[in-house]
Amino acid sequence: MDIKAVGVIGAGTMGNGIAHVFARSGFSVVLCDVEQRFLERGLATITKNLEREVAKNKVTAEEKAAALKRIEGVTERGKLAECDVIVEAATEKFEIKTEIFRDLDRLARPEVILASNTSSISITKLAALTRRPEKVIGMHFFNPVPVMKLVEVIRGLATSQETFAAVRELAVKLEKTPVEVNDAPGFVSNRVLMPLLNEAMFAVMEGVATAEAVDEVFKLGMAHPMGPLTLADFIGLDVCLDIMRVMQEGLGDPKYRPCPLLIKMVDAGWLGRKSGRGFYRY
């Protein structure tokens, strides 16, 4: 499969990181979001992160300029019609993704692969919204996308081997390491990570230790680059809560119940780093 142009839906944290790595690897990118100001913010972040990479001698100033030139920001979804693959990284709500997948299925050529960067929504369910379920797949990147090596490649029930092989190859071209996973709530990454973060929140709620102490335990005792509560703030507490709820509903085991403190903090609008307050203040 000859993939040259890639569409990315959503210019938020994940979407702009995905556009960044595709453009850095020589693909032309159509980055689509609903409002011009979201595009501008996403493109400013890509510029800043590419500058960071120039400062670290990971890319040259010329490569940075060329990568930026390869990205076209659009608010009109129809512009994605020319893309060879489309990666959806929109808000993590099933209703929003439903509308997007139905629309993409209408506008993209029949051979185009539709990938989702969803962190927990069923790929099988997204695929069933389209007339090309064999061409729908999960391409789950990790934040910060330009740095993290993993792409979890998730096969929906109907995903074809051809689609899987094309996406695996695409991840390698991005200098990432693809890992194959079957469709199940939370896949592997969040199935294992989120209960850890949730349990760390229970430890804080029950007064076992402060957030700082819990984080020190994991940084110094387990060599995690960030402690679980810093990481939860980094991911976004609303995202953590949504993922716990998807696993609670999908797996039905009470061990996936979200920590009441997490629910309370999200209710308060304390969403972590992005809102200025979570387990820490920013």
Q: Can you tell me the distance from the alpha carbon of 248 to that of 195, in angstroms, rounded to the nearest whole number?
A: 11
- Catalytic one among 49, 140, 189, 198? 140
Residue type for 280, please?
Y
Asked if 147 interacts with ligand 3HC (CB under 6 A), we say: yes
Among 56, 95, 252, 267, binds ligand 3HC (CB under 6 A): 56
C-alpha Rg value of the chain to the nearest Å: 19
The dihedral through the CA atoms of 88, 93, 94, 97 has a sign that is: negative
Token pair 């139905």 in the structure block, residue: 102
Q: Which is nearer to ligand 3HC, 142 or 270 (CB)?
A: 142
Exposed e or buried b for every residue in 23-46, given b needs 16+ CB within 10 A? bbbebbbbbbbeeeebbeebbebb
Q: Which is nearer to ligand 3HC, 18 or 231 (CB)?
A: 231
Among 1, 54, 125, 144, binds ligand 3HC (CB under 6 A): 144
Angle at 249 between CA 246 and CA 252, to 5 degrees: 130
Tell me whether residue 82 is one of the annotated catalytic residues. Answer: no
The residue number with the shortest CB distance to ligand 3HC is 119
Contact segment (CB under 6 A) with ligand 3HC among 29-37, 50-58, 59-67, 130-138 equals 50-58
Tell me whether residue 224 is one of the annotated catalytic residues. Answer: no
Q: Which is nearer to ligand 3HC, 112 or 265 (CB)?
A: 265
Please name which of 238, 122, 235 lies closest in space to residue 186, comparing C-alpha atoms. Answer: 122
Total residues interacting with ligand 3HC, rule: CB under 6 A: 18
- Catalytic one among 49, 88, 152, 198? 152
Please tell me whether residue 50 adopts helix, strand or coil conformation: helix
Contact segment (CB under 6 A) with ligand 3HC among 35-43, 71-79, 146-154, 253-261 equals 146-154
Task: Confirm if 79 and 32 have CB atoms less than 8 A apart.
Answer: yes
Between the alpha carbon of residue 200 and those of residues 144, 214, 266, the distances in Å are 22, 7, 16
Burial class (CB in 10 A: 0-12, 13-18, 19+), 190: buried
Binding mask 57-96 for ligand 3HC (x = CB under 6 A): ----------------------------------------
Asked if 256 interacts with ligand 3HC (CB under 6 A), we say: no
Q: Which residues bind ligand 3HC (CB under 6 A)?
A: 49, 52-53, 56, 119, 142-144, 146-148, 189-190, 225-226, 231, 235, 239
What is the set of active-site residues?
119, 140, 152, 190
